[in-house]
Amino acid sequence: MAKGLTAAELRQNDKDELVTKLKEAKEELFNLRFQAATGQLESHGRLRAVRREIARIYTVMRERELGIITEVKEPSDG
């Protein structure tokens, strides 16, 4: 999963890509929690980063659901 995704970057993805990124982030969070429970986790900050990434994805999805933000198209050069 790409690290440091911003909300602006996520808004440029379509719904299927967001669902895929959400699934990957949840899997990563599960693995990090498992490592933390077994004492193998080296980067505790990554737990926080992944949780925030999941929240950003949910926020973008909810914005679209409510019609606050629509899917952003790439700006045209011209």
Q: pLDDT, tens digit, for every residue of 34-71? A: 999 999 999 999 999 999 999 999 999 999 999 888 76
Largest CA distance in the chain: 55
CA 42 and chain centroid, separation:
21
pTM higher than the cut 0.95: no
Is residue 50 within 8 Å of 26, Cβ to Cβ? no
Percent of the residues in the chain that have a pLDDT greater than 90, as a whole number: 65
Residue count (the chain): 78
Alpha-carbon distance of 57 to 53, in angstroms, equals: 6
